Chains A and B, each alone.
Chain A
Amino acid sequence: MDQASALATLAPRRRPRRRPWARIGRRTIVYALLIAGGLLMMGPFLWMMATSLKTRAEVFGSPPLSLPSGAHWENYARMWDALPFSTFFFNSVKLALLNTAGQLVSSSMAAFAFATLQFRFKGPLFGILLATLIIPFQVVLVPNFILYRILPHPLSSSGNWINTHEPLWVGAWLGGAFGTFLLRQFFLTIPRELADAARVDGANPLRIFWHVYLPLARPALATLAIFTFMWTWNDLIDPLIYLRDTELQTVTVGLSLFKGQFVGKWPEMMAGALVSLLPMIVLFVIAQKHFVRGITLSGLKG
C-alpha cells in the first residue's frame, strides 16, 4: 500500500502484481501496528469510560484500567441532574455551530485573498494576522473584557456585551489567524492554471472562489470545522469570564464545577466529559470521510 492508495482506489489500478502472501503479510503488520498504536492513544479514553461507571471509592482504590464492580449508570444520572445540562448542551451546540460557520466563511475568504490575489500590504497584513496568535491569551483577557464591556448591546440588560453569548461567537465571523493560514496553505497548492482557465472563461474572483477553490479545499475546510467546533466546545475560560447567568453557561463550564476546590467528583466528572465528547466524536467520524473522498482533482481535467 502506498501513500496515494486512497486516490488510487478511485482510479483503475496500475500497480505491478506482487506475490499475494507478501501483501497479506504486509497488510497484517500494518493493521497490527495501527491498532496497537490506536489502543495506546485510546488509553485515557478507556480510563474515562471505566471511571464513569465506577463508584467513588473504586476510582482510586483499584488499578486505573480495571473494570468497574458493576455498571454504575447512576453516575450519569447524577451528573445530568446536578446542573441544568440540557440547557448547557443547547448553548454549547449553538456557540460551536456559530463559531464553525463563522470561521469557515470569514477565514476562507481571507485565505483566498492571501493565496490568489495581488494587493498592497499583503505581506504586512498577513504578518499582523499571525501576530495575533503569538500574544498569550492570559494577558489579553482583561483588555478584551473591557472592550466587550464598552461595546453597546441593544438586548442585554446591562446594555453591554457582558453576560451575553455575543463575545463568544461574533469574533469568529471576523476572521482568524489559524483558519486563514490553514486554508491559505491549501489554496496555494491548487494549480493556478485552474483559476486562470476560469478567468479566461470570464469568471470573477467570487465565482472562482466558490466554484474552484472551495470545492477543492474540502479536506481543509473539514479540518477547520473540526478544530473550530472542538475549541469552542472545550473553551472554559471565555464563557466563564463573560457569562454570569447559569442558563447561559456551556457544558464545559458545567463540568468544571465537579472539580471541587479540594476533592473532585471523578465518576460524575468523567461521565459528563464522555457525554460532552460525543458530539465531537460524531463530527469527526463524519468529517474524516472528507479526508478520503471529496478531492478528485483528476475530475477537473474534463
Chain B
Amino acid sequence: MTVGPARARRRTGPLASEARWAWFFLAPTILGLVLLSAGPILATLAISLTSWDLLQAPRLVGLQNFVDLLGDDRFLHALRNTVFYTVTSVPLGLALALGLALALNRTIRGIAWIRTAYFLPVVTSTVAISLVWAWIYSPEQGILNQVLGLFGVPAQRWISDPFWAMPAIVVMAVWQGLGTNVIIFLAGLQAIPEEYYDAAQVDGAGRWGRFRHVTLPMLTPSIFFTGILSLIGSFQVFDQVYVLARPGRPTEATTTVVYFIYENGFRNFKMGYASAASWVLFMIVALLTALYFRSQSRWVHYG
C-alpha cells in the first residue's frame, strides 16, 4: 500500500488552509452538535431548575432540586453504589480485557471461532445473560454456591444479601463488557508497526522487554480510550442493575444514579428532579474525565 505521488498542486498558506480543511472535515459533527445535541442537553439544564412532572407546565424552582438531592438518602445511596461500581468494574474490566486481547492476538487455527466466542456476550440479549447469571447466583441450585460448597464455603445469597449484591453485579457486568474492550485492544495491537518489534529485537529485548517497551506504550492510546469510555459507561450503569435486582426492584444496596434518574423522571413524575440528578452526575464525570485527560501527557504515547 504505497502513497501514490499526488499530482503536484500548489496551495498557498498551508496553515491557513489547514484550518479551512479542519472545518470541512468537522462540518457534519458541528452540524450534529448544534442541531441535535445542544438543544436537548441545554434543555435538561433548564429543566433541572424546575419542578416538572412531564405532563403539566414546568414551574421554576431555582436550585431547590439540587438542595433536595443533597439531603436525599436514596440519591446518596445511589451515588455510593455507582462509585463502588466504577472503582471496581473499570480497573478489573480493563486489566482482564488487556490480558485477553494479548492472548487472542495470535494466528492459530480456529482463532476466528475462539474470538467469536469471547464476543458473544457483547451481542447476547441482556435478558438471557441476566437469567443465566441469576442461575449462577441462585441461593440453592446456583452453580456458584455449589462450586464453593466443594471447598466448604457456606452458601451465600449473592443477590439478596446487601453485602454481596453489588459485587455480584460488578462481576456479571465485567464479564459482559469484556468483549467490547477486547475488540478495541485487538484493533490497537494490529496498529503497532512491526519495525518497532524488529528494532526491539535488534536491541536484544526479550519477550517481556518487547511487551514493556513496544506493545504497552503503543497500546496506551487504546487504553486511554477504553479507560474513558469505561469510566463514563460505568457511571451510567443501569441495565445490569435493573435486570439482576430480583425479586422486585433495585434496593438501597444496588440502586444506581441512572436508575434513580429513571425512576424519578419516568415513574415518580419528577423530571425536574431527575434532570438535576443527571447534572450532578454530569459534573462528577466531566471533572473526572478532565483530570484523566490532563494525565494523558504523562503516560499516553502517540505516533
Contacts and interface: CB of A to CB of B under 8 A. Distances in A.
Question: Is the pairing of A and B real?
Answer: yes
Interface of A: 1-11, 14, 27, 30-31, 33-35, 37-39, 41-45, 47-48, 51, 63-64, 105-107, 109-110, 112-113, 117-120, 122, 125, 127-136, 138-140, 142-144, 146-147, 171, 173-176, 178, 180-182, 185-186, 188-192, 194, 197-199, 201-207, 209, 211-212, 215-217, 219-220, 222-223, 226-227, 230, 234, 255, 259, 269-270, 273, 277, 280-281, 284-285, 288-289, 291-292, 294-302
B22 A118 contact: yes
Interface of B: 1-11, 14-15, 18-19, 21-26, 28-33, 35-37, 39-41, 43-44, 47, 54, 100, 102-108, 111-112, 114-125, 127-129, 131-133, 135, 141, 175, 178-180, 183-184, 186-195, 197, 201, 207, 210-211, 214-215, 218, 221-222, 224-225, 228-229, 232, 235-236, 238, 258, 261-262, 265-266, 271, 274-275, 278, 281-282, 285-286, 289-290, 302-303
27 contacts: A5-B106, A34-B104, A37-B118, A106-B29, A109-B26, A110-B26, A113-B21, A132-B41, A136-B236, A139-B265, A142-B271, A143-B40, A143-B44, A174-B33, A174-B36, A180-B29, A181-B225, A185-B188, A190-B191, A202-B6, A202-B7, A219-B188, A223-B187, A277-B124, A288-B115, A291-B105, A299-B1
Given A44-B121, A138-B258, A288-B112, 16 more contacts: A3-B102, A7-B192, A34-B103, A113-B22, A118-B19, A119-B19, A135-B44, A144-B36, A175-B33, A189-B188, A209-B25, A211-B3, A230-B122, A270-B128, A277-B125, A298-B194
Contacts of A33: 103
Contacts of A31: 108
B297 to A, nearest CB: 13
A300 B106 contact: no
A171 B275 contact: no
B6 A201 contact: yes
A132 to B, nearest CB: 5
B100 A37 contact: yes
Contacts of A47: 128, 131-132
A134 B286 contact: yes
B19 A297 contact: no
Nearest to A191: B303
A295 B1 CA distance: 10
A269 B131 CA distance: 13
A296 B1 contact: yes
A119 B39 contact: no
B183 A226 contact: yes
B278 A135 contact: yes
A3 B190 contact: no
Contact of A2 (B40, B210, B235): B210
Nearest to A219: B187
B116 A281 contact: yes
Given A139-B44, A175-B33, A45 B103 contact: no
B271 A294 contact: no
Contacts of A128: 33
B83 to A, nearest CB: 15
B15 A230 contact: no
Contacts of A118: 15, 18-19, 22
B104 to A, nearest CB: 7
A59 to B, nearest CB: 10
B1 A215 contact: yes
B190 A144 contact: no
A129 B128 contact: no
A226 to B, nearest CB: 7
A85 to B, nearest CB: 16
Contact of A300 (B1, B122, B184, B228): B1
